[in-house]
Amino acid sequence: MPETRPPAKSEATLAALMEKMENEPVASFFKFKVLELSPGYSKISLKLKPDYLNFNGVVFGSIYMAAADYAFSLAINSLSLPSVASQFNIYLLAAAEPGEEIIAEGRVLRSGRRIGITEMTVTDHGGKILAKATGTTVPFNKG
């Protein structure tokens, strides 16, 4: 279970994060949809476009990483805003096709004073795991 803050602070942090999300240029570029957001958890979706194919005819791994990274940033920043990534690791396990919608979920494992740890899973709509990732963050608002 993630280490969390008192509910009032989490609610204020979540409200501040939702305000910041409205002007997030990378999320706008990819047209990420936020499906769920709560303290320590996020779920987003992304529709894959033919433009995302590489020269081998498969979706670039960086597209899965971008979806996982956005879910990562929402999950950890819902508890500790602002937090920035210091490490990101991803395993690409399967591919999806253009036109499919992928889902990325972020779950905070630890949100501490010096470090945050989050795990992300990217799946297709049927639940097939496409990628697994972990990320580490450094919070900036700790006193």
Tens-digit pLDDT profile for residues 62-95: 999 999 999 999 999 999 999 999 999 999 999 9
First to last CA, the chain: 24
Tens-digit pLDDT profile for residues 90-125: 999 999 999 999 999 999 999 999 999 999 999 999
DSSP string, 47-78: E--GGGB-TTSSB-HHHHHHHHHHHHHHHHHT
Q: Does residue 138 form part of some domain? A: no
Q: Would the pLDDT of 3 be above 60? A: no
Q: Does residue 38 form part of some domain? A: yes
Q: Is residue 18 very low, low, confident or very high in pLDDT (cuts 50, 70, 90)?
A: confident
- Strand order of the β-sheet with 101-111 is 33-38, 41-47, 101-111, 116-124, 129-139, 83-92
Q: Does residue 49 form part of some domain? A: yes
Q: Does residue 141 form part of some domain? A: no
Q: Does residue 140 form part of some domain? A: no
Task: Provide the pLDDT for residue 2.
Answer: 55
- Identify the CATH number of the domain in which residue 13 sits: 3.10.129.10
Q: Does residue 40 form part of some domain? A: yes
Q: Does residue 1 form part of some domain? A: no
Q: State the average pLDDT over residues 9-22.
A: 83
- Note the pTM of the prediction, 2 decimals: 0.89
Task: Provide the pLDDT for residue 141.
Answer: 67
72 is in which domain, residue-wise?
7-107+115-131
Q: Does residue 136 form part of some domain? A: no
Number of domains in the chain: 1
Specify the 3-state DSSP secondary structure of 12. helix
